[in-house]
C-alpha cells in the first residue's frame, strides 16, 4: 500500500472516491491519461473487473506501470463493441464507437481526429428498462451516433470546450477542440445544436476543460447552455432517474 | 491541456503545487508509482529538465504513457551516481545509491529488497555550503550511508512504517516494511537508532504509510519520535535552514 499512499495521503485528493470504496468493475472508455491514471492510485489488492475494448487493453498492457494491478485481484476483460455485458446485477453496459483519436501520448506525425473504432467509445448503461449514455469524448456527431440516445433518461456528454478555438483565443495553447478530439458546445456543428432535436430526458455536460466559460455560473455561456436544456456536472454529482 | 484536467479539476488535488507553478527541473529518485505518477498531471507544454538515473529513465521510457511529456519541452537528463549536477543556480544535487528494490510493478518471482544501484537513490542537495539529504526510501542503514549525512543541516528520511510488521499486525496487508524496501523507525535496526549517533542538525520523517501510528499527534510513537529529535513532515512544509 505504501506506493500509492504518497498520492492518496491528502484526503482531498479523491474526496468522493475514498480508497476504501468497494466496486465490482471499472469500465474504461479511452486510453488517455485522464481516463486511466486513476487506476494507478487504487488500493493494492482490491479486486475488480477491468473492462475495456481490446485496443484499450492493449494500450494498458503496453505500459508496465499497470502491472501494479495485480492479476490475482484484477481481471482484465475485453468488451466487444455492440455486445452488452452485465457489469453489476441488473445493469448492462454496451460500448459503441465514437469519433475520436488515439491517446495524446500515442499520437504520431499525423493524427486522425475523427477515428471511429475501439480507441474512443461511448457507453449505453441499461437497467430497469432505462438507458443512460456516457460519452465523455466525441469529435463529431455522426448520424449513427445521433440515432442512439433516442428515449434516453440521461445523457452525460463531452463538454470540453465551448468554442472550437477557445484555447488559441485565450492564448493558453495552440490546439482547437477538434484537434483534441472534442466537438464544441456552441455553433452549427456543436453539441447543443446536435442534441436539440433528440429525444433525451436529461442532458448533462461532463469533461469540461478549464478554459470553458460555462464553468462560471454567472456567464452568458452558462445561461445559453441551461436555456438549451443542459446542466453542467459537478464532481460527485448523483443523478436519480425519474 | 484537457487530458490532465480531469485529474486536476479539483483544486484540492494538488493544493500546494498549482498547475501554474514554474520550476526548472524535476528530480526523480525512484521509479515506483508514487514517485513518477505526478509527472502525468503536469501542465502540458511546461518546460523543465527531468533528472534521474539512467535506470530510472529506462523505466520511464518503457512506459509510453510518459510520452505525454513532450520532448520539445521536457529534456530527460541522466544523472550518474556520485556526480553532482547543478539543478538551479547555486544549487547542486548529488545522487547516491540507497538499499531498496525495483518498483512494485517490475517485481519478478523473487525480489532483492536491499538492492543497491540506480533503482533507489538518495539526494544530497548543496547550496551556500550547507547540505540537505532527501532519502524517501531506504531498506537498511549501511556504513557507507551512515557516513554521508555528517554535518547535514537537514535530513528528510524514509518514515514509511513504525514497526516492520505493522501491516500484518493490523491485518491490512501481508507485507512487512522490509519486503517493501523500507526500514522501520523503531527497533535496534530502525532509523531512530541508526541516526542517534549521527551529526545531523534536523531530522524529519517523510513518506509515512497510513498505518504508521506516528501520524497521530497524540500517540506514544509520535512522542518517542520527537523525544529522539525527529519531526514529522506535513504536506507543503517549508524548511528554513539556520
A144's CB contacts (< 8 A; 6+ apart) are none
| Residue B160 confidence (pLDDT) above 80 | yes
User: Looking at CA atoms only, how far is residue B23 from chain A in angstroms?
Assistant: 18
A74 vs A24, A48, A66, CA distance in Å? 10, 5, 11
Could you give the dihedral angle defined by the CA atoms of residues A223, A226, A228 and A233, in that order, rounded to the nearest 10 degrees?
A: 130
Buried b (16+ CB within 10 A) or exposed e, B122-134: bbbbbeeeebbbb
The pair phi, psi for residue A202, each rounded to 5°, is: -135, 135
Is the four-CA dihedral A22, A28, A33, A39 of positive or negative sign? Answer: positive
Q: Is A66 helix (H, G, I), strand (E, B) or coil?
A: helix
A84-111: pLDDT as tens digits: 999 988 999 999 999 999 999 999 999 9
B19-74: pLDDT as tens digits: 556 788 999 999 999 999 999 988 777 889 999 999 999 999 999 999 999 999 99
Which chain A residues contact residue B67 at CB under 8 A? Answer: 105-106
Which chain B residues contact residue A162 at CB under 8 A? Answer: none
**pLDDT band at B8, cuts 50/70/90?**
very low
Rounded Cα distance, A108 and A112, in Å: 10
| Residue B13 confidence (pLDDT) above 80 | no
Residues 129-168 in B contacting A (C-alpha not used; CB under 8 Å): 160-161, 167
Rounded Cα distance, B150 and B143, in Å: 12
CA atoms within 13 A on the CB side of A123: 22
A180-226: pLDDT as tens digits: 999 999 999 999 999 998 999 999 999 999 999 999 999 999 999 99
The mean pLDDT of B181-197, rounded to a whole number, is: 96
Quote the pLDDT of residue A148: 96
| Residue A8 confidence (pLDDT) above 50 | no
Is the Cβ pair B2, A34 closer than 8 Å? yes
Nearest to A163 by CA among A142, A140, A137, A183: A183
First to last CA, chain A: 41
Which chain B residues contact residue A182 at CB under 8 A? Answer: 2
| CB contact at 8 A, B35 and B29 | yes
Rounded Cα distance, A51 and A45, in Å: 17
**Whether this model's pTM surpasses 0.80:** yes
Q: Is B155 helix (H, G, I), strand (E, B) or coil?
A: strand
Q: Is A131 helix (H, G, I), strand (E, B) or coil?
A: strand
| CB contact at 8 A, A166 and A143 | no
A48 pairs with which residues across the strands? A74
Nearest to A17 by CA among A4, A31, A33: A4
Q: What angle do CA B16, B102, A14 make, to 5 degrees?
A: 30
Q: Is B203 helix (H, G, I), strand (E, B) or coil?
A: strand
Rounded Cα distance, A143 and A197, in Å: 12
Q: What angle do CA B187, B193, B194 make, to 5 degrees?
A: 120
The pair phi, psi for residue B52, each rounded to 5°, is: -170, 170
Quote the pLDDT of residue B21: 61
Is the four-CA dihedral A93, A97, A21, B102 of positive or negative sign? Answer: positive
Quote the pLDDT of residue A20: 53
Residues 34-53 in A contacting B (C-alpha not used; CB under 8 Å): 34-38, 40-41, 44-45
User: Looking at CA atoms only, how far is residue A90 from chain B in angstroms?
Assistant: 29
**pLDDT band at B156, cuts 50/70/90?**
very high
Residues 161-200 in B contacting A (C-alpha not used; CB under 8 Å): 161, 167, 172-173, 180, 182
Q: Is B212 helix (H, G, I), strand (E, B) or coil?
A: coil
Rounded Cα distance, A147 and B160, in Å: 54
Report the relative pairing of strands B154-158 and B130-135 from DSSP bridges.
Answer: parallel
Which chain A residues contact residue B211 at CB under 8 A? Answer: 1
**What does the mean pLDDT of chain A come to?**
90
The mean pLDDT of A15-34, rounded to a whole number, is: 76
| Residue A83 confidence (pLDDT) above 90 | yes
Quote the pLDDT of residue B6: 39
| CB contact at 8 A, B136 and B184 | no
Nearest to B13 among A13, A34, A44 (CB): A13
Is the Cβ pair B207, A6 closer than 8 Å? yes
Selected residue with higher pLDDT from A170 and B134? B134
So what's the ipTM on this one? 0.84
Determine contact: B3 vs chain A, CB below 8 A.
yes
User: Looking at CA atoms only, how far is residue B35 from chain A in angstroms?
Assistant: 8
- DSSP code of A179? T
A39's CB contacts (< 8 A; 6+ apart) are A26, A28, A50, A60, A66, A69
Quote the pLDDT of residue B44: 77
**Mutating which of A16, A65, A180 best tests the B interface, going by the most B Cβ atoms within 10 A?**
A65
Beta-sheet strands, E only, within B53-183: 74-78, 85-88, 91-97, 121-127, 130-135, 154-158
**What does the mean pLDDT of chain B come to?**
90
B229's CB contacts (< 8 A; 6+ apart) are B203
Which chain A residues contact residue B105 at CB under 8 A? Answer: 64-68
Quote the pLDDT of residue B221: 98
| CB contact at 8 A, A121 and A29 | yes
The mean pLDDT of A62-87, rounded to a whole number, is: 95
Beta-sheet strands, E only, within A25-104: 25-27, 48-52, 74-78, 85-88, 91-97
Amino acid at each position: 500500500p505504501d506506493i500509492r499512499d504518497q498520492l492518496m495521503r491528502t484526503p482531498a485528493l479523491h474526496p468522493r472516491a475514498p480508497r476504501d470504496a468497494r466496486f465490482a468493475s471499472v469500465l474504461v472508455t479511452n486510453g488517455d491519461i485522464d481516463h486511466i491514471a486513476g487506476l494507478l492510485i487504487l488500493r493494492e489488492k482490491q479486486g475488480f473487473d477491468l473492462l475495456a475494448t481490446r485496443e484499450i487493453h492493449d494500450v494498458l498492457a503496453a505500459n508496465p506501470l499497470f502491472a501494479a494491478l495485480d492479476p490475482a485481484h484484477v481481471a482484465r476483460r475485453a468488451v466487444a463493441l455492440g455486445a452488452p455485458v452485465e457489469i453489476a446485477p441488473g445493469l448492462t453496459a454496451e460500448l459503441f464507437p465514437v469519433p475520436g483519436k488515439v491517446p495524446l501520448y500515442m499520437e504520431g506525425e499525423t493524427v486522425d481526429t475523427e477515428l471511429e473504432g475501439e480507441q474512443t467509445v461511448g457507453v449505453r448503461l441499461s437497467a430497469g428498462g432505462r438507458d443512460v449514455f456516457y460519452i465523455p469524448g466525441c469529435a463529431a456527431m455522426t448520424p449513427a451516433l445521433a440515432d442512439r440516445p433516442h428515449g434516453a433518461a440521461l445523457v452525460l456528454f463531452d463538454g470540453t470546450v465551448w468554442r472550437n478555438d477557445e484555447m488559441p483565443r485565450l492564448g493558453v495553447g495552440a490546439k482547437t477542440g477538434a484537434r483534441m478530439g472534442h466537438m464544441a458546445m456552441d455553433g452549427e456543428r456543436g453539441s447543443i445544436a446536435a442534441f436539440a432535436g433528440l429525444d433525451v430526458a436529461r442532458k448533462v455536460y461532463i469533461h469540461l476543460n478549464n478554459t470553458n466559460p460555462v464553468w462560471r455560473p454567472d456567464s452568458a455561456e452558462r445561461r445559453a447552455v441551461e436555456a438549451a436544456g443542459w446542466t453542467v456536472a459537478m464532481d460527485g454529482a448523483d443523478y436519480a432517474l425519474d
